[in-house]
Structures are given as structure tokens and as C-alpha cells.
Amino acid sequence: MTPKPFADNLFITLVGPPNSGKTTLFNYFSGKNYKTVNYPGATVDSAIANLQKKFNINASLMDSPGIVSLYPETADEVIAVNHLYKHPKLGKPDLVIVTVDSSQLSRHLYLAKQIIDSNFNVIIALTMVDILEQKGFEVDEEKLSELIDCKVFKVDGRSGKGTDNLLSFINANKNGFKKKPLQNNNSANNNTDDVLLLYKEIELIEDNCLIEIENNKNINLKKANKQLNLITNKIAKKKCNQIDARTVKIDKVLLHSTWGLVFFFLIMSFTFTSIFWFAQPIMNFVSYIFQSLADEFLTLAGNNLFGMFLANGIVNGVGSVAIFIPQILILFLILGLLEDSGYLARGAMLIDKPLSKIGLNGKSFVPMLSGFACAIPAMMAARTIPNRRERLLTIFILPLLSCSARLPVYTLLLAFLFPGDKAWIAGIVLAAIYLFSIISSVLVAAIINKLNNKVINAEDNSSFILELPAYRKPEIKVVAINMWHSGKLYLQKAGPIILVLSIFIWFFTSFPNFDPEINTDNIKQEQIHELKDSERLATSYAADFGKIIQPLMTPLGLDWRVGVALISAFTAREVFVSSMALIFKVTDSNGSLMESMLGAMKNSKIGNSEQKLFTPSSIIGIIIFFMFALQCLSTIAISRKETGSWRIPLLQLIIFSGLAYFLSFVAVNGLRFFGLS
């Protein structure tokens, strides 16, 4: 939502190359928590917010996708350049803050010089100063300000260091930032001679403002007097283009063609095993809270229609999914630490070569990584892929990657297969599921690539260049804030859907015969409610609907109850868990909600027979179904928006759902043939 501008509001735009600290600075100024990572593609649309009131400046801030010049090549760069010249609601900015990585002046000053020559009011914010100091250099900001003809400030968007000086300058000169007519900028022309001429000018500027720290073995610059030496052009060019020795040593291992992949798999295995180990105590606590609430509502309201609605329809329905929130938060936390350290940017380099064999390149890694959280932002992140064919192919395979909405389903089903002290096995299997989702998406991409234009109709000309950031110590506070923000967005997205569908499914499984008459002679009191629940379900609307879909469930070794849960999951995958809790009448208060759900599954039979409903083969079949089926209507809508037609989303729905059913059928019956039932 665009903030309402004040009469004296400044409109400030933040512009910079990818990985220059632009979004981090925006978050510090605005108090927001937009995602910031060490590779391009984190920001795929412009974000607007007001400057925090504590800074005492009335200003609207805009953060847009990273660009390297004023000539855009990708969809997100087009947005950034268009909004720089004229935002549709706020117009032309009064001030442009250009973030420049001080350790890469020769590259990042190119964009800054273009914007200055275009007659914008510009301030340069020098970032990554600590990385430059580790190399034994620093920038003379006063000299750079004089040479480039605009004010320059050293800042750290993560800690706020240096931002006071920048904001004080803006406050003192806010009345002087008048909108000026933009000039025809010759230096922005995409002409080879002009570009070379501009880079020569930037090289001279760099040579004159970079200074070497003589005693760089002990560079505690605040406690010691700085002895600075102007360095020659040769030294500057040599030193500033080198990554520090520590990064080189680490990359020799982590980017190795063999060992790099081994370490990547080990790190991912640790990540998903941790999801089980670290989250279990918190999950038990959350489960206890919701079970206690359900019991309390049932006690207060009584064992009647209203009490059952509150306890089972709302509390247990929502609680059956809420208990998995700790696992989702731990997933976001670990991935956030890997992102902030600079490691995951290396993943793109590792898989660029294999991806090139199937018609993609390393830039697809960014949206594919986002796909493990949610396919919706992942499809939006695909805007950073300049080649249309690769962008559409990436969007096509994204639903195959295991998003966080599948995590509650996998956790429940794996807990059934590997109970108690076998949780470590469940963690390894979960890592294997995520790995298989990558392999399956790659295989599908390879098949589609072989089909040429029969599925993806677009030209194919590709290149891949990616800047690798230096390894840095993650900022725990920043990672924690992003983790909390991601978890909150998940709740906001899934919570209302789960609540509405929980109420609907409770009604669907309880009516029209809410309180059936049964013969209670010679039946223990504790069995009466169980029999009533069973009879109520057998005469419900859900049972009537189940008779229609039962022929589809029988080949998978399942019955209509699981079918109803699977269909409800097409609105949101995580709804499957709450649907199962409601359909199987999980109300046991003797244990945790999770234990009650697993107990109900273990005791479930097919019809009136003694054949168990949930067996290793049927559970594996359900897992395979969730790995492939496109069960998210929101994803279909975003796919339509990002591809520009219904062709690809409809193909995704038909192909992936059909493939899910077929592979589940093969797996269940194959395992039964070998006796695993």
C-alpha cells in the first residue's frame, strides 16, 4: 500500500546494484522487514514506506529491484528504471540515494555516474566498508564526493552506523531538493565507446579516492591513528579486484565440483533433520496448549452442538496445523543464516552447469530456492531471469519443489512411519524428499526442454553471470526478524483459509444427522462418543460425497475419508492435516493432539473390515501424491499472472495432478506386490 504523502513530504528512492545493501538500508530507515539476501532477485517489485518518525523527516521511501545500469534487461530491472524516472503515484523522486559497495567501486560507480549525469539529486551511500577494510583499504569519502560531484556517506544498514550523518544532511537540505528537469544523459547510452569512456573516468576517480591502510595487520581504526597512503593505479586495480584470502580458501572446498555438492547435501540434511530434533519440544508444548483449550471449551459449553463446534471445528482444526509452525520457523531460520552468510549464492554456481543441460541456468536457482518457502514469491522472483524461455520453464517446474505448506503433511505422515526414537530417520527421509523434489523438477524440465516449443513457446538465448559476495558473519537480529516476518506471513496466508475450511469440514462431517440414535446397551461409557462419531460421519454430507470419489481412492488403498481431505487440500496443502483431524474425529484428551491424530490413524479401518486404512504403502502413496500434485489455487492464479495466459497454469494442473495420481498408484500397488502393506 502506497503511503499517503504529506504536503511537505520528500520522495526518496533507493537505487543500487544487486547485493549492494540497498534493501538492508531501506529496512533500517523504514522499520520494515523486507527480505534481503546475497544474490539478485530478492526484490522483484517496488516497496514503499514512510521514513520512521524517530528520524524527524517527513519522507516516503521506495526500494526497487537492483539494477546495474539505466538500460534494463530483465522484467524487474524495467520496473526499477521506470519507477526511478516516474513512479505512477508519487512521480519523480526529490532525492535518489545510490548504494555503492565500496569494495567494488569500479563496477558500482557506473550506475551512480549515470544517475548523476541524468540530473537527479543524488547522495551516494557507501556500503560494505568492513569488507574493504579487511582487504587493507578504505575510501576517502570527501575526495570521492569532490570527484563525482555529489555528497558521499559511509553507512552500515545492518547496524545503522553512519546513517545519522546522511539523515542530518537530508534534513538540513530538504528544502533544496527541488524536482529538476531530467537531462538527456549521453553517458547512459548503451554505446560501446561511451561505456568505455565512462569506465575510464570511473577508474581515475577510483585511483584518487582509494587509500591503503599501512598497518593493515591490526586495523582497529577507532583506537589507533590512521596512517594513510595514496595508492597507485596499478595497486588499486590489483587489490580491489581480489576477494579476501579467507573467501578463496572456503570456496576451494564449497565450490569444488565434487566436494561442493557433498557439503551442500550434508548441510541440507542437517537442516531438515534439525526440523525434527529442535522443534519437537516446542511442538509438544503447542499441541498441549491447543488440546487443553479444546477440553476447556468442551467443559464450559458442554458436550453439545455448540461445544463440539468450538472444540473440534475451531480449536482442534486450527491447532492441528499450528503445531507445525515451530518447524517452519526453524526452516526459515537456518536458510536465513545460510543466506546472510553468503553461502547460498554459491549454490547457483554449483548447479549452473547441470541446469544448463536441461535448458536453464544458475539464475533459476534463486526462484527455485524461494520455492522451498512458497511457490508464489518464487514465481515472482523468476522475473529476474532475462531469457523468456528459461523464465517460463522455471515457473513451470516450481510447483514440484516442496514448499513449507507441505511440511505439516510430511511431518504427520513421517511421524506415522517412524515414531518415537526413530525421529532421526524421519529427518533423513525428509531431506531425501526435498532432494527428490529437486531431482523431479529437473527431470520434468529436461523432458519439456526436449519437447522444444510444444510446451514452452519462446526463444532460447542464454547467458549466466553472477557476482559472489564475500563470506560474512550473519547478523542474528536481522535473520531472526526475517524469520519472524516469514512465519507471520505464513500464518496470515494460511490461517484464515484453515479456519474457514475447518468450520466447513466440521459441518460437512457432522450434518445432517448430528446426534444419531444408537443402541448403547452393553457398551462402555467411553465407547459411546466414539460410536456416535462414527455413525455421525457415516450419515454425513461428507459420506455422500465420498461415495462419488471412492472409486478413485480404492486403487490407492485409501477410502473416501482421505479423498475428502485430499480435495480440501487443493485450497491450501496444509489444510489436509486439519481435515484429517476433523474427519477422523481427533478428540482424545489423554495425550497430545499429535499423538491423538497418530492414534486415530493407526486404529482406522477400511469400511467395516479389519483391513487397516493406513499402512506403509498407503502412507508412501500419499507422500508421493503431495510431492507432485498442484494443490494450491493461489499458485495457479500467480502462474497465470506471471506467464500472461492460462496455457501454462492449466498444463501444470493437469500434468502434475495426473502424474501424482499415477505415481501414487504405481508406488502403492508395487509395494503391496512386494509385501509392504
* Residue range(s) of every CATH 3.40.50.300 domain in the chain: 10-241
pLDDT level of residue 515 (50, 70, 90 thresholds): low
DSSP E strands: which ranges in 156-276? 210-213, 228-230
Q: What single string gives the DSSP state of each residue in 593-660?
A: HHHHHHHHHHH-BSTTSS-BS--HHHHHHHHHHHHH----HHHHHHHHHHHSSSHHHHHHHHHHHHHH
Residues 300, 301, 304: CA angle, nearest 5 degrees: 140
Q: What single string gives the DSSP state of each residue in 486-548?
A: HHHHHHHHHHHHHHHHHHHHHHHHH-B-SS-----TT--HHHHHHHHHHHHHHTBHHHHHHHH
Query: CATH homologous superfamily for 10-241?
Result: P-loop containing nucleotide triphosphate hydrolases (3.40.50.300)
pLDDT of residue 667: 94
CA distance 205 to 139: 11
pLDDT of residue 41: 45
Q: Coil, strand or helix: which one is 398?
A: helix
CA distance 651 to 635: 13
Write the pLDDT tens digit of every residue in 516-534: 554 545 444 444 455 455 5
Write the pLDDT tens digit of every residue in 559-598: 888 888 888 787 678 778 877 877 776 654 455 667 878 8
Write the pLDDT tens digit of every residue in 171-223: 888 877 766 666 544 444 556 677 778 888 888 888 888 887 765 444 443 44
Q: 566: which 3 cell numbers?
A: 485430499
pLDDT level of residue 628 (50, 70, 90 thresholds): very high
CA distance 48 to 30: 9
Do the strands 59-63 and 47-50 form a parallel or antiparallel pair, or are they unpaired?
antiparallel
Q: Contact 455/651 with Cβ under 8 angstroms? A: yes
Half-sphere exposure of 345 (CA within 13 A, CB side): 23
pLDDT of residue 455: 57
Least confident of 82-96, 611-625, 655-669: 82-96
Least confident of 9-18, 33-42, 320-329: 33-42
Q: Is the dihedral of CA 189, 195, 198, 199 positive or negative?
A: positive
- Residue bearing cell 490461517: 495
CA distance 72 to 17: 12
Please give the model's pTM, rounded to 2 decimal places.
Answer: 0.59
CA distance 91 to 84: 9
CA distance 174 to 6: 14
Identity of the residue numbered 147: L
**443-472 burial: b if 16+ Cβ within 10 Å, else e:** ebbbebbeeeeebbeeeeeeebebbbbbbb
Q: 170: which 3 cell numbers?
A: 537530508
- Which of these, 256, 283, 246, 260, lies nearest to 597 by C-alpha position? 283
DSSP E strands: which ranges in 167-294? 210-213, 228-230
**The pLDDT of residue 428 is above 80:** yes
Q: What is the mean pLDDT of residues 634-662?
A: 87
Cβ atoms < 10 Å from Cβ of 523: 12
Q: Coil, strand or helix: which one is 47?
A: strand
